[in-house]
Chain A
């Protein structure tokens, strides 16, 4: 190799390293996000937007909010927590495990009664009183806010005792959905976001449960201590509050 080509080679290599470093080092951050199961679909779309616009990537774990709370209390390495309620993020703030002042409501959840069979669930939820009602799926009320909301609905309709023997419990709203989807449960209390696609019911039949039957499901997000200096975490939180993403979240059946 002549001296000239060697020098050119070194220059090109140096440039390449500089470009690689600026892409890899400065922009492509990564955040680990704990996401309530009801928000599993929207977060995928949001992660895609985040990656496209900022280069940041998300590592997403979905599950029951209560389970995540326990895990975070025990040192789970999450940067951001998107809960299905406002209580657990508040508790994490009190526990000193969340960054103060970062908590905000990213969505208000809607509970529906859903069946995979068409014409099974009527527009007023009378199916819950029918004699041939099969298994009724809901999420574990101890760990999943949507499960707690389902209990409130049954309570306020005076059906708690009547439906109790038919209840089957999923560990999260995701498993409750699976029980109904596979036809193993006749009907189930699930999140509207799980059964909508492009603003329309994907399949089966559902009852939009009136808000009066259950307490408002205010879904709060918070940056956790571990994510305090994580750029991807900050970017996600900013994105969640932007008008475009708010529209996207609404299209999944949430209020905002």
Chain B
């Protein structure tokens, strides 16, 4: 076997974090995108800016704030302890929470774009057929926005896999719990274990290229469907 058990463990952990993050983001990001697309309230603007913030914020800033806020002395950490829950840094759950923040714009933005492109017509048509808003959302909006949803999921998953700075700040580098592939590669390099670093890095390169290739093929096919 080319990859050591440690490396396989890191790959499996990375997959688990990314998959769970994507699922949570899909469930939370879709209604959020819908609200941002439809609401006329002024508050959509600051909320929209907050959603996009992880795009420009250095991961170390996000990591630092999460470490301080989620720690036992921090506002959120205290609240967790009061509820009898463990604090989040250095845990798998903490990593997922951090990743949800970190990848949020990568889910919301594509969905929001496709919802904005929808226009009023399909919704008016649904309304004249006496569809309830909820029914319209599930039977009209979501199917029509499928390309946005698919793109959002792929991007969120891939972006979470590529996460490094935030994990380095709040992860604590625990094998099988928070030591994801990117951190594992960093450790290999720092410890001069270049052979291991090469193998894992090659896996990541192949993975990232495949994801982007799949995305290209998918959007090309969607574009053709749109023309047909």
Interface residues of A (CB under 8 A from B): 64, 66-67, 69-70, 73, 135, 137, 140, 142-143, 167-171, 178-179, 182-185
**B67 nearest in chain A by CB position:** A182
> Told that A182-B71, A183-B71 touch, could you supply 9 new A-B pairs with CB distance under 8 A?
A70-B190, A70-B192, A135-B90, A142-B187, A143-B190, A168-B172, A168-B174, A184-B87, A184-B90
The answer for the CA separation of A167 and B187 in the assembled complex, in Å, is: 16
| A64 CB contact (under 8 Å) in B73, B74, B168, B190 | B190
* Residues of A with C-beta under 8 A to B90: 135, 168, 179, 184-185
Determine if B172 and A135 form an interchain contact, defined as CB atoms under 8 angstroms apart. yes
- CB < 8 Å: which of B68, B189, B192 contacts A182? B68
CA gap between A135 and B77 in the complex, in Å: 15
CB-CB under 8 A from A69, the residues of chain B are 192
Measured between beta carbons, the chain A residues less than 8 angstroms from B74 are 182
Give CA–CA (A69, B174) in the complex, Å: 23
Complex Cα distance, B73 from A70, in Å, reads 36
For B169, give the chain A residue with the smallest CB separation: A175
- Contact, CB under 8 Å: B189 / A179: no
The answer to the question of B89 belonging to the interface, with a C-beta cut-off of 8 Å to chain A, is: yes
Taking chain B's interface residues, is the majority helix, strand, or loop, or is none over half, making it mixed? loop
- Which 7 A-B residue pairs are closest in the complex by CB-CB distance? A168-B172, A169-B173, A142-B191, A184-B71, A183-B73, A183-B72, A184-B89
Name the one of B73, B172, B192 contacting A179, with C-beta atoms under 8 angstroms: B172
**Residues in chain A near residue B191, CB distance under 8 A:** 66, 70, 142-143
Contact of B173 with A73 in the complex, beta carbons under 8 Å: no
* Chain B nearest CB, measured from A177 CB (Å): 13
Q: Report how far A104 CA is from B71 CA in the complex, Å.
A: 41
Contacts of B73 in A (CB 8 A): 182-183
Which of A135, A142, A167, A182: most chain B Cβ within 10 A? Answer: A182
Known A-B contacts A182-B73, A184-B71, A184-B90; A137 and B187 likewise in contact (beta carbons under 8 Å): no
Q: Give the chain B neighbours of A70 by CB distance below 8 A.
A: 189-192
Residue contact B190 to A66, C-beta cutoff 8 Å: yes
The digit string for B75-98, where 1 denotes a CB below 8 A from any CB of A, is: 001000000000101100000000
Using a CB-CB cutoff of 8 Å, which residues 154-210 of chain B contact chain A? 168, 172-174, 187, 189-192
Among B68, B87, B173, B192, the residue within 8 A (CB) of A171 is B173
